[in-house]
Each structure stands twice: as C-alpha cells, then as structure tokens.
Structure 1
Amino acid sequence: MNDALTLVKKTAPVMPVAQFKSLDHARACAELFAEAGVPAVEITLRHADAWQMVKMFKDLVPNALIGVGTVLNRRQMLRAVDEADFAVSPGFSRELSMLAHKTLSTYIPGVATATEIMAAMAEEHSVFKMYPATAIGGVALLKAMSGPFADAVFCPTGGISQANYHDYLALPNVHCVGGSWIVPSEEALAKDREGYVTMLKDLYQ
C-alpha cells in the first residue's frame, strides 16, 4: 500500500494522534491545525462523537488528510473508507487488511512483534504503526527490527513525547512518529494559542 508510505512522508515528523474531550475541544484544535498548516491528523475512535469530529476536521481543515484511529472492526473500517482519508489500527487484522485492499483505502495496521510484521507483510503491507512503542521496547526494538525487516517503515506511537521523539526519528526505518503531545488541551490552547501555532509551524513548515 504505497499510499501509506506517501502518508507517513507527508505527515512527518509527527502525526497528531487526537483524543478530543468534546466537540468544542475538537473545533478549537481544528481551527488551530488549519492555521498552522498541519498536514494530517489521526482522530481516535475513543469518544462518542468521534465521527462528528472527523467530519468537522474534513470541513475545517480541508488541506489536511484526516484519518481515523483505533479502527478495530469491519464496521469501523467501512465507515472510515467513506468518511476519512485513511485508517489506522492498534494491531493487525487480516480482515481489515483485506477490506483496505478491496476498497483501495490507505490503511496502516499496528504491529508489536516480528510475527505480526510477517503476517502483515504477507498481505502486502510495508508501513506499520508500532504500538505501544515505548512499552514494548521503543528505539531498541525498532533498531532490532531493521535487520530482518529492511523494507518495513514504521510510525511508532505510544509513550512518545517532545522529550524523546527525535530519538525515534533518527532511525532510518522511522519516517514519522505518532504523538498526542502536540494536541493541546482546551486549557492550554486558551492560555497560549500563539505558542502552539508557532510550535506547529516550526514542525511542519
């Protein structure tokens, strides 16, 4: 799925992984991301209004690719195909992989082990979300995986922060990281919106 490779290159260095607290929080961040020129956003399906948030981002951030994260089943995948630009899962499912191929959708499956990488590569995937990255070995694990899986590209997510993301990006098999730290809370945004605009522009422009 070469579209997945294009996606991680476009969104480098950081894919915002957003778990918004409310529709108002999502709207405030959408307006921020539009102003700052954020190229892609992954909105997790961990809120009852997540699909409304996806639509809001599609409307308010038209120049960005808007994806759905925490896609766990067929129903969510099919809806993501219709309503989002890409889908991301925390693990690997052959059923979801087949749906992505059938619908020609951009899909990044999650992996945590060599066995899962092999299973996903057998379904013609080469771009993966390594999750939960820090908890399962972090930089050391990704270095180890580069030997047997020289063609694999990773977007590690989970436990990655402003303090350590450069360590991941220094690896040749990591094209971007997933991070929630660049998605401000409503309180932080109210306090220093201009600071976040500057930070995001520095990241992406």
Structure 2
Amino acid sequence: MNDALRILQRAAPVMPVAHFHSLEHAQACAELFAEAKVPTVEVTLRHPQAWQMVKIFKDTMPLAKIGVGTVVNRRQMLRAADEADFVISPGFSAELSILARKTLTPYIPGIATATELMAAMKEEHSVFKCFPAAAVGGVALLKALSAPFPDVTFCPTGGISLANYQAYLALESVACVGGSWIVPSEEELQKDRDSFLAMLKDLYKS
C-alpha cells in the first residue's frame, strides 16, 4: 500500500480543507481539531501566513498528519517536503511528481478528466484528488472514471457539503472527501464551538 493511500484512509471520512483568515483563527481551529482528535488536515496555501499556519497545526496536533494543499510549483513542493507530512495539488504536474519521489513526500495530485488521470498514472500515481469535484461531474464522473480505471482511489474536493458527502463516500473508489464545511469560521467558533466539537467527534468516532 502506498503512502498517499494511507493518508486518505487515515483521513476518512472527511479531510478538512482548511483556509484561515488569521493566525488566531488557525490556532483556534487547531485546538478544536486536536480536541476532536481529527486525524488529518490539509492546510491550503491561500494566505500570506500559510506556512506559519502549517507550523501551528504541526505543533498543536503532533499525532495528526498535516498536509499542505494548493501546491502548484517547485518552491512550494520543496518547502512542503520539509515542513509537512504530505502534499496535495489542485492539478497534476510531472515536475512536482518527480520532486515528490526525490524527497520521499506523499503526493496527491489533482485531476478533473480521464486525460489528466492517464498522465498522472504514467508517473505511477494511483491516488488522486478530484477537483473541483461537483463542478466537473461529481458522483457521476467518479462512477464513470472508476469503470476504465478500477485501481485508482479518489479524494473528491470542491462543492462537497454535509448534504452530499455521503453520496461520494458510498463509491468504492472514494477513500475520503475533502471539505471546507467542517472548518468553522471565527464567528462560528465564537458562537457555537461546542456544536462543531460535537459534530467532529461524531464524524471521527471509530
């Protein structure tokens, strides 16, 4: 079993796709996730202080696997190899794939079409982020791709919500889904932290 597949299986059923508005927001979410025993988190590089946020999660959640998402270039990949447990991209890059192998970094590339899937499989990938899942066909697309590519595993992300995530998880090819809907805003943390904590504990109960 490869490391990327282990990451997705560990993350099940939902990997938080986390974009924070401030370091304080990141710290509060890290503390919440630690209390709920969330096993895996993807911290996206969408904020100027994103790398500091990755460190916050690594320090606050030492037992979890902390990944870096939205990795799109060589510089980001090399830094993520040093500072995170795994890397996720919105698309596929052969260059990033080569760097991941050289640095022994679990890498989950993004795909949206059969052509992209075949290009990534040529670089010996079998575990993928499907992004943006809902916009490119959702459950129907993943069902269609699973027929000609029975040995691949997906983490669909983009447009996933409380209302539809179980439909994705029902697919044999889906190990987990990625979702921002389980990452509370600063306002939600202040108003209803206990409800989020209860939801997370229920989601990740074994």
Q: What TM-score, normalized to structure 1?
A: 0.99
Aligned to 1:89: 89
Partners of 2:103 and 2:185 in 1: how far apart? Answer: 35
1:77 maps to: 77
Deviations 1:69-92 (A, max 9, x none): 000000000000000000000000
Determine helix, strand or coil for the equivalent of 1:135.
helix
Q: Corresponding residue for 1:199?
A: 199
Q: Which residue of 2 aligns with 1:8?
A: 8
Cα distance per residue 1:46-78 (max 9 Å; x no partner): 000000000010001111100100000000000
Matched, 1:188 2:201: no
Q: Tell me what 2:20 maps to.
A: 20
* Cα distance per residue 1:156-192 (max 9 Å; x no partner): 0000100000010000000100000000001101111
Taking only aligned residues, the RMSD between alpha carbons, in angstroms, comes to 0.7
Aligned counterpart, 1:62: 62
Equivalents in 2 of 1:186, 1:66: separation in Å? Answer: 21
2:143 corresponds to 1:137:
no
Distance 2:179 2:125 in 1: 22
Matches of 1:63 and 1:190, distance apart in 2: 26
CA distance in 2, matches of 1:90, 1:137: 16
Matched, 1:174 2:174: yes
Give runs of aligned pairs for residues 22-171 of structure 1, distance below 5 A.
22-171=22-171
Q: Indicate the larger mover: 184-193 or 45-54.
A: 184-193
Q: CA deviation at 1:102?
A: 1.1
SS at match of 2:141: helix
The aligned amino acid for 1:191 is K
CA distance in 2, matches of 1:80, 1:118: 25
Structure 1 stretches of 4+ with a deviation exceeding 4 A read: none
For residues 135-156 of structure 1, what are the alpha-carbon distances to aligned partners after superposition, in whole Å with 9 as ceiling and x for unaligned?
A: 0000000000011100010000
SS of the aligned residue for 1:67 comes to strand
- Distance in 1 (CA, whole Å) between partners of 2:189 and 2:70 is 25
Q: 1:194 deviation in Å?
A: 1.1
> C-alpha distance in 1, partners of 2:63/2:194?
21
Q: Percent identity?
A: 73
Query: Unaligned stretches of 5+ in structure 2?
Result: none
Distance (whole Å) between structure 2 residues aligned to residue 152 and residue 183 of structure 1: 27
Q: Give, in whole Å, the separation in 2 of the partners of 1:106 and 1:93.
A: 14
